Amino acid sequence: MTTPLLEVRDLVVEYPVATGVFRALDAVSFSVDAGSTLAVVGESGCGKSTLAKAIVRLLTPTSGAIEFDGVDVSRMSEKALRPYRSRIQMVFQDPYGSLDPHLNAVDIVGEPLRLQGIRDRRARDAKAAELIDRVGLPTTALRRKPAEFSGGQRQRIGIARALASGPDLLVCDEATSALDVSVQAQVLDLLREIKRDRGLTYLFISHNLGVVREISDTIVVMRGGRIVERGRTEEVLARPREPYTRALRAAALDPTTMVGIKPRNVVAQGVAS
Amino acid sequence: MTTVIEAPDQPRPSAVTPRDVATAGATRRARDSRIKIWVGSVAALVVIAPVALARVLPLPSPDTTNLAARRLPPLTDGHLFGTDQLGRDLLARVLFGGQVSLAIGVLAVVVSGVIGLTLGAVAGYRGGWADTIVSRLLEAQLSLPLLMMLLLVVALFGPSIPVITFVIAIAQWPEIARLTRSLTLVEREKPYVAAAHVLGLGHTAILLRHVIPNIMKQVSLVVLLLLAQAVLLESALSYLGAGPQRPFATWGRIISDGQDYVTTSWWLVTLPGLVIALLVVGVNLLGDGLRDRSGRSKRSLLSRLRLHGKEI
Amino acid sequence: MDNLLKVDELQVELITANGVVRAVDGVSFHIDAGETVTIIGESGSGKSTTAMGVLGLLPVDLAVLSGAATFQGCDILGKPKALEKVRGKHIALIPQDPMTALSPVHTVGAQLRDAIRHSGVRGRAKQNARAVELLEQVKITNPTGQLAKYPHQLSGGMLQRVLIAAALAAGPELIVADEPTSALDVTVQASILDLLLELQERTGVGMLLITHDLGVARLMSDRIFVMKSGRFVEGGDPEELLRTPRDAYTKRLLDAVPRLEPVQTGVPA
C-alpha cells in the first residue's frame, strides 16, 4: 500500500485573541492519495480556510503534522521549505486580488519559472505562453494586465501560475466561489482536464456541495474546527449520516432536483381576478 | 409555457441628451482633473522653465550692483521686475536664486522620498519591532515644532547647502513614511502577496517586486506635492537668515533683503513672493489633478456596479 | 385594478468615463400584491441596476432613466418627490451584504428606531416597543437585549433579520430584495428564505427578488425572468422555466449548475 501524498495528523492551529486563544483547527486528521481529489466542505468559520493556509504554509500550525510525500513540513523553516514550495501550489478565491495588478499575464505566469532557475527571458516567456494557452486564453492575452480580464479569465491565469511550478498537489481555496455559474462550470472543466493530463492531486475547499460532487472523490465535512463526517463523496452526499451534514445537504438548493420544498400557498390580499 | 422575449429588431433609441453627458459626474470629474493638470503644469512651468534656462536668457547679471539705478520700479529701463536697493536686476536675482531654491527643493524631496519609502515599507511589511521603532520616530518628529527644530539644526551645524537640504529632507520623510506604511499594510493583506509567498518568494523580494511597484504611483504624487513644501521651507529658512549664505541669493533671502522697503518699493517683496506662490499653487494643482485621475481609474463606479461582466 | 408595481420598457443608461453604457435595455414586468417576481442573471446582466433604477437609487449624474415605472398607479420613475413618499414606507429594500449595510458606530436599536421613526412612530418608548415587536416577527431571540448591540456583535444571519425587520417597519406593500442571501452561509440562507416566505404569507407583501442563484429563484418565485446583457430573454412559471427552458441562454445557465442527486434516506423535509 502506497503512502498517501498528503497526510495530516492532529493538526491544531490556534490564534491569540483578546480573551485568550481561539482554536481554528482542532486536531484535524485526514489523508489524500496521489491522483485523487479531496473536498473540504463547511460553512464560514469552520476552519477550512485555515486548513488550506496551513497546508501551503502561509501560517505555521501550533501542533500536529503535515506529511507531504512522507516528510513533515508543518514546522519547517522557510529555507528548508523552499524545495517543497514548487510541489504544493494554491489557486485563490478572489480573482480580483490574487494577481499583481501591475504585471502582465506573461510575467505573472513567468515568475515561478524564474524561481525555478529559468533565467533566459525568452525561454521563460515561451513556457509561460504555453501555459497560458493551456488554460484556454488567447495569445492576445499575454501582454495584458489583470484589469483587462474578466473574473473567469483571471482565475485561469491564476491556475496557469500555479501550474508553472510543476506542483504535485494543488490546493483550490474556493477557487470557483466568486465566479458566475456558467464561468464556474468552465473553470471546473479546466481543472478536471488538467488533473487528468498531469496526474495532479487536488485539495478542493468549497462550501458548494454541487461543485464538490462534480470534482471530488472523497470529502470531509468541517464544523467548528473539526471534521464531523468523511467518506466517498457520492456516499456522503447521498446518505449523510451526521445531522450537520444532513442540514447542509438539505439547504443546498439544486434547482433541477429540489425535493421536499415547502409548496408556496400565497394568500394574497385583495388580488382581484 | 414560458415566454421567450426576443430582442427588438431595431435597437432602442438612446435617451441620453448632450446636456446629460455634459453634466454627468464622469464628465465633470474628467474635465476637472484635466483643467487642474493643465493649469497646474502651465503655472509651474512658467516658473520652472525660466529658472532652469536662466543662464541662456538675455538677463543682466544678478550680482552686478549699480548704485545709480537703485530701487527702480518694474518695467523701467529694461528691468522687468525693477531693481533692488543695490541696483541689481530683480528678475535676474529671482531666476538665479530660484535655481538654488529649486535645486535644494528637488534634492531634499528625493532624499526624503528614498528614506520615507524605505522606512515606511519596512515598517508596514514587517510590523513588529521595525514598525514600532519607525512609527514612534515618525510620531515624535511630527509632534515637534518643525521650524524651530530646523533652525536648531542649522544653528548647530551651520547654514550650508548640504545641511539645509538634509534638514528639509528630515522634515519631510515622516509624511512619506506614514503614507507608504499605510499603503503597504493594505497591499500586504491582498491575496497576490500570499500567492507570491506560496510560490516561494522571500520577504524582500515580495516587497521589492510586488508591493512597492503597486504603491509607487501614490507615493510619487505625495512626493510631488512635497516639492512645493520643500521650496517653501527653504524660503522660510533663508528668510529667517538660516539659509545658504552669500553669495547664494535664494528666494527667501531676496524677500528678507527687501523687507525694509516693503512700503516704498513693494516689488522687492511682492514679486519674488508671487513667483513662489505661483510655483506652489501650480505644483499642488498638478498633483491634485493627477491624484483625481488615478483615483478614478482604480475604483470606477462602473466596476462597483459590476457592469464589466465580460464572459470568457 | 392597478398592479402593485408596473415597469414598462425601462432603460437605464450610464454615463461613464468610457462612454455611455446601456445597463438595462428595455425591460418590462409587473408585480401584483402578494406575489414574488424574481429577476435572475449573472454579474453584469443589469438585474441590480433595474431594481436600483426603479427605486431611484442610482446617482443622478451617472444614470439616465427612460421608460416608465408606476407604483400603485403613481408614476415613480425619475420622480424624486414621489419616491420620497414611497420609499421606506410602501416599498422597502433589503440590501445584499448585511455586514456592511448597517452603520458600525450606531447600535442596532438606534438604527431600527430610525427606520421606525420614518414610519411615523414618535417617542422613544413607543419606538423601542415597536422595535422589539419587529425583531420578534423576524424570529430573533432575546429581542430587547439585541437592541443595545452593535452590528459587529451579530452574525450575518442575525444582521439580515434586523435588516428585514427595518424593512418591515412601516408595513410596506412591496419588498425589493437584492441578493438577500448571497453573503450568507447556506444553512443560514435556508432560514432567511423561510422567514421571507412566512412573512409574505402572513402579510401579503409583494416581492421583487434579485438573485443569481437558480435554486433560490425556484424556491421563492411565482414568476421568474432571466436577464442577460440588460434584457430579459425568457420569463414565466418557475417549474416550467427550470424544467423546459426554451431560450438558449437559459438552457446554458441551467446546464452549468452542478447537479446534486436527491438525498436517499432520512432527510428532514
Domain with residue C50: its CATH number is 3.40.50.300
Task: Give which of B193, B199, B203, B204 to mutate to test A binding, by max A Cβ within 10 Å.
Answer: B199
Cα–Cα nearest to C135, from C99, C159, C102:
C159
Instruction: Answer whether A51's CB lies under 8 Å from A222's CB.
Output: yes
Residue C144 domain flag: yes
pLDDT digits (tens, 9 = 90+) for B211-237: 999 999 999 999 999 999 999 988 888
| Confidence class for position B60, pLDDT limits 50, 70, 90 | confident
Quote the pTM value: 0.87
For chain A, which residues make up each domain, given as ranges? 1-87+200-273
Residue B224 domain flag: yes
The residue assigned the cell 442563484 is C213
CA A221 to chain centre: 15
List the grid coordinates of A168.
Answer: 504535485
**B213 contacts chain A (CB < 8 A):** yes
In this structure, whether the domain defined by A1-87+200-273 belongs to CATH 3.10.350.10 is answered with: no
The CB-based long-range contact list for C81-88 (8 Å cut-off, 24+ gap) reads C83/C55, C83/C56, C87/C55, C87/C56, C88/C115, C88/C118, C88/C119, C88/C170, C88/C172
| Confidence class for position A262, pLDDT limits 50, 70, 90 | very low
Residue B155 domain flag: yes
List the grid coordinates of B207.
Answer: 516587497
**Chain B from 29 to 68: CB within 8 A of any A CB:** none
Report pLDDT for B63.
83
Instruction: Answer whether B162's CB lies under 8 Å from B107's CB.
Output: no
Bridge partners, A17 (sequence order): A20
Give the CATH number of the domain where residue B211 resides.
1.10.3720.10
**B24 contacts chain C (CB < 8 A):** yes
Domain count, chain B: 1
Instruction: Answer whether A232's CB lies under 8 Å from A197's CB.
Output: no
- Residues in A closer than 8 angstroms to C219, CB to CB, are 253, 258, 261
Domain ranges, residue C170: 5-255
| Confidence class for position A270, pLDDT limits 50, 70, 90 | very low
Report pLDDT for A197.
93
- Residues in C closer than 8 angstroms to A188, CB to CB, are 258
Report pLDDT for B295.
66
Report pLDDT for A98.
95
Domain ranges, residue B217: 47-56+96-295
Q: Mean pLDDT for chain B?
A: 87
| Confidence class for position B300, pLDDT limits 50, 70, 90 | very low
In terms of average pLDDT, the best of B9-23, B246-260, C225-239 is: C225-239
User: What distance in Å separates the CA atoms of residue C262 and residue A254, rounded to the nearest whole number?
Assistant: 9
pLDDT at B294 over 80: no
10 Å CB burial of residue C155 (0-12, 13-18, 19+) is middle
pLDDT at A105 over 90: yes
Mean pLDDT of B69-85: 85
Q: Do B305 and C20 touch (CB under 8 A)?
A: no
Residue A121: Cβ within 10 Å count: 10
User: What distance in Å separates the CA atoms of residue C128 and residue C145, rounded to the nearest whole number?
Assistant: 11
User: What distance in Å separates the CA atoms of residue B208 and residue B286, rounded to the nearest whole number?
Assistant: 28
Residue C265 domain flag: no
Residues of chain C predicted below pLDDT 50 = 266-269
**A232 contacts chain C (CB < 8 A):** no
**Chain C from 111 to 170: CB within 8 A of any A CB:** 156
| CA–CA distances in Å: residue A211 to residues A135, A191, B137 | 19, 12, 52
List the grid coordinates of C234.
Answer: 425568457
Q: Do A181 and C204 touch (CB under 8 A)?
A: no
Report pLDDT for C267.
46
The CA-based angle B160-B166-B171, given to 5 degrees, is: 125
Mean pLDDT of B140-147: 84
Peptide bond connecting B247 to the previous residue in cis, omega within 30 degrees of 0 = yes
Report pLDDT for C118.
86
10 Å CB burial of residue A2 (0-12, 13-18, 19+) is exposed
| Confidence class for position A261, pLDDT limits 50, 70, 90 | very low
What type of residue is C48?
A: S
| Partner residue opposite C16 with nearest CB, options B12, B23, B300 | B300
| Confidence class for position B64, pLDDT limits 50, 70, 90 | confident
Instruction: Answer whether C230's CB lies under 8 Å from C46's CB.
Output: yes
Domain count, chain C: 1
- Residues in C closer than 8 angstroms to B11, CB to CB, are 25
Report pLDDT for B296.
58
Burial code of A164-190, b = ≥16 C-beta within 10 A, e = fewer? bbebbbbbbbbbbebbbbbbbbbbbeb
SS3 state at A254? coil
| Partner residue opposite C20 with nearest CB, options B11, B14, B308 | B14
Mean pLDDT of B29-50: 94
Report pLDDT for C106.
95
Residue C25 domain flag: yes
Report pLDDT for B302.
45
Percent of chain B whose predicted confidence (pLDDT) is above 90? 46
For A252, nearest residue in chain C (alpha carbons): C186
